[in-house]
Every structure is written in structure tokens, then in C-alpha cells.
A and B are shown apart, each in its own frame.
Chain A
Amino acid sequence: DTGVSQNPRHKITKRGQNVTFRCDPISEHNRLYWYRQTLGQGPEFLTYFQNEAQLEKSRLLSDRFSAERPKGSFSTLEIQRTEQGDSAMYLCASSPTKLAGGSYEQYFGPGTRLTVT
């Protein structure tokens, strides 16, 4: 297991097009997170899955965004009718269930850099 993987690594699209990103978490991690990071900012939370259930969505996640995790394994994040403001790095992270020490370490993927022209 080489860690969290994300595809594609880079995506350039024209405004108005739809894009879909994929995240493969570490095996047996039941928690999966999506974050967005824009230039000069830290990652910002978008949404969270526990197994296949989407348990929380940030207000940053407009109606044009949808995320799924159909079998509790990989996840997809789709952006419809992309806008220039969607240009960012989209990060995926996964974590196991609560560790003995009571802390959740999140393991991050390399990210997908989206550029909307």
C-alpha cells in the first residue's frame, strides 16, 4: 500500500465543463475527507465520508459539487459547470477509526490541481 492516491494529478478544463476526480484511500481506512487548497491558504474542509455515508458537507461545497463513495472504498468528487474560482488543489485524506491514543491521523494524497480557463 503506497498511501492515498489521487487521479488525475493535473486537470485543465474550460469554464463550463464538468470534471471528476478520484481518490483511493489507504486500505481499511473507513474515513475519507476532501479538502480544497487555494494559493496562499491552508487546506479547507469540503466533505467527509465514513464508509459510504457522506456525513458532513462544508458550506464551501456548492450545488455544483457532488461527492460519492459508493462502496466505502474509493471516492469521486465531481464539479459541474466549472468556474474560474474553482481553480485550486483538491486534496483527499483518509484515516482509520479512532486510535488507541484517541487521535485521528489523516493521511493525505498528492492532490489534483485543477485549472479552469
Chain B
Amino acid sequence: AQRVTQPEKLLSVFKGAPVELKCNYSYSGSPELFWYVQYSRQRLQLLLRHISRESIKGFTADLNKGETSFHLKKPFAQEEDSAMYYCALRSTTPGANSKLTFGKGITLSVRP
């Protein structure tokens, strides 16, 4: 079974502070990991995926297979980063459908 754990529900920081949103996963194979973001009154949208190894809006995330983690980081938070963030996993097993398994999400609040 695959599972995604986001241990915190809320993270509140001041503008300019570093941010780390934690994500741990449980999966027997080699998964694909994603971070999705939902801004206020907007739909869920992809922020980044581990295979791209890219930085989006200053956010990065590294897949650590040893610790089964995919934490999302940003060195200097901005007020516009305030949103709900979901970590998600997809199976890469051949023949598996590409459904996403989501964590419960974390609210990031960046104060001025």
C-alpha cells in the first residue's frame, strides 16, 4: 500500500524566513513524488515533481529514498506563498494507473 504523511497541519512564518514543509512516504517500489499547491479560491495545481529537479517559485524538493522523504523548501518565504500544500505520490509500477495518493496537506501562512 502507498501512503503519504504530512506530519504538520500548519506552518506560520514571517516573510523572508526559510520554509520547510515535510513529507514522508511509504511505498514498496520506486515512486514518483509531487507537490501540489492550492491558493485561496483557486484549484489544485502542480508545483513541482521530483523527476524534474527544478525550482519553481523558489521552491525545491529533493527525493531522499533512504529517509523516504520529499520535503519542500524555500530559503525566503514570500506572502504570496501562503496557500495549502499537498504532497502526492504516484506508483511507477508497470501497468499501474497513474492515480495520485495525497497527504493531508499543510497550510503555509506567511506573515508580513
Contact = CB atoms under 8 A, between A and B. Distances in A.
A43 B46 CA distance: 14
Contact of A110 (B43, B51, B52): B43
Interface string A82-117: 000000000100010000011111111111000000
Interface in B1-50: 4, 6, 9, 32, 36, 43-46, 49
A42 B32 contact: no
A105 B51 contact: no
A106 B98 CA distance: 9
Nearest to A34: B99
B19 to A, nearest CB: 19
Contacts of B101: 45
- Place the interface of chain A in its size category: 20 to 34
B43 A44 contact: no
A90 to B, nearest CB: 13
A65 B6 CA distance: 29
Contact of B98 (A44, A104, A107, A111): A104
Contacts, number: 58
Contacts of A42: 4, 6, 86, 88, 102-105
Contact of A108 (B9, B44, B49): B44
Interface string A37-69: 000111111001010000110000000000000
A31 B44 contact: no
A21 interface: no
B99 A33 contact: yes
Q: Which 5 A-B pairs have the closest CB atoms?
A: A42-B102, A108-B44, A104-B98, A45-B99, A48-B97
